Amino acid sequence: MKKFYRMEGMFPPLITPFKDSGEIDEKKLKKLINFLLEKGVHGLFIGGSYGSYPLLTMEERKKLAEMVFAEVNERVPVIVQVATPCTAHSVELTKHAADLGAKAVASVYPYYYSAFAYDEKDLLGYFKALVDASDIAVHLYNNPKATGYATSTKFLLKLNEVGVTGLKDSAGDIMLLSEHIREFRNRGIDFSFAIGTTGMLLAGMALGVTGCVAGTANALPELMVELYNTLLKKNLEESAAIQLKVIEVRKLQNIQGFRPVACYSMLKMRGLDMGTCRKPWRELDPENYKIVEQRLRELGLL
């Protein structure tokens, strides 16, 4: 029997606060978790792109997960992203996440070689190993910018055959996402569809998406939760107004070319010091910080 978990709601992909020494700052991490939960997020997605997971060692990834689960204490569901370039390491992280109580694990394709060397059999074998590693659901985190591999509907159906029962889609292609949803629906396959491109949430939920992994929700959880809840009420006019504001914020986050780093500064603007990011990430330069702060004030978000 396939293991299933439907992601429903707004799940911030947690950023990872670091000390100047380079260590994970557990105190600040706890502060961030409680801030997000108080603002009404529906769950947490850890070990993702915003969490700087490729910059963490295996032990740091495990330690980070342990910190999060201890602080969350079952208040909301948690999904753990377990991708590595090595199947055995991803299996190890999957087992660890299951032991901690994760509702599901997610994984991008095993990156680097995925861009030019692997065929479908290699990738199906990787995901089959994750499915066989535990009793929790396995979702594909589709991020072709990071892996160099785009997911067709035909291949997503093959992944489902080996036990993958959900998708976190960050491809930014609403036409392809609609094809995925249509084909699974036509075949009567129960599958969890979540979106990782917040600018497409309005369109995605109209098609049948039930979850959202929104990096912006690290710094502005109220805005993202409001968008999700308004969409649930099918208030199109109000939803569109919020969606346009979210798109404006996402553009602001990209002022330095990389949206995740802006979240550290945006939280600082709100009085929440999240330490620093890990190099080679670079925090917002002073001039960019001022531009973002001023525009957020103009948007009524500070």
pLDDT at 140 over 90: yes
In contact, 108 and 83? CB cutoff 8 Å: yes
Q: Looking at residues 198-204, what average pLDDT do you find?
A: 93
pLDDT at 3 over 80: yes
Cα atoms in the 13 Å half-sphere on the side-chain side of 21: 3
Domain spans in the chain, listed from the N-terminal domain onward:
9-220
Question: Of 23, 22, 15, whose CA–CA distance to 49 is shortest?
Answer: 15
pLDDT at 2 over 80: no
pLDDT at 16 over 90: yes
Q: pLDDT for 84-128, tens place per residue?
A: 999 999 999 999 999 999 999 999 999 988 889 999 999 999 999
**Whole-number pLDDT of residue 122:** 97
User: Residue 131: which pLDDT band, with cuts at 50, 70 and 90?
Assistant: very high
**Whole-number pLDDT of residue 97:** 99
**Whole-number pLDDT of residue 32:** 99
- The C-alpha atoms of residue 31 and residue 269 are separated, in whole angstroms, by 15
Indicate the residue type of 288.
N
Would you state the structure tokens that stand for residue 167, as one six-digit string? Answer: 């998708």
Residue holding tokens 């201890």? 70
Bridge partners, 193 (sequence order): 167
Q: pLDDT for 32-91, tens place per residue?
A: 999 999 999 999 999 999 999 999 999 999 999 999 999 999 999 999 999 999 999 999
User: Residue 268: which pLDDT band, with cuts at 50, 70 and 90?
Assistant: very high
CATH H-level superfamily of 9-220: Aldolase class I (3.20.20.70)
3-state SS string for the chain: CCCCCCCCEEECECCCCECCCCCECHHHHHHHHHHHHHCCCCCEEECCCCCCHHHCCHHHHHHHHHHHHHHHCCCCCEEEECCCCCHHHHHHHHHHHHHHCCCEEEECCCCCHHHCCCCHHHHHHHHHHHHHHCCCEEEEEECHHHHCCCCCHHHHHHHHHCCCCEEEECCCCHHHHHHHHHHHHHCCCCCEEEECCHHHHHHHHHHCCCEEECHHHHCCHHHHHHHHHHHHCCCHHHHHHHHHHHHHHHHHHHHHCCHHHHHHHHHHHCCCCCEECCCCCCCCCHHHHHHHHHHHHHCCCC
pLDDT at 290 over 90: yes
Query: In this prediction, what percent of the chain has a pLDDT beyond 90?
Result: 96
**Whole-number pLDDT of residue 8:** 98
In contact, 193 and 211? CB cutoff 8 Å: yes
- Predicted TM-score (pTM) of this structure: 0.96
In contact, 28 and 273? CB cutoff 8 Å: yes
| Residue-averaged pLDDT of the chain | 97
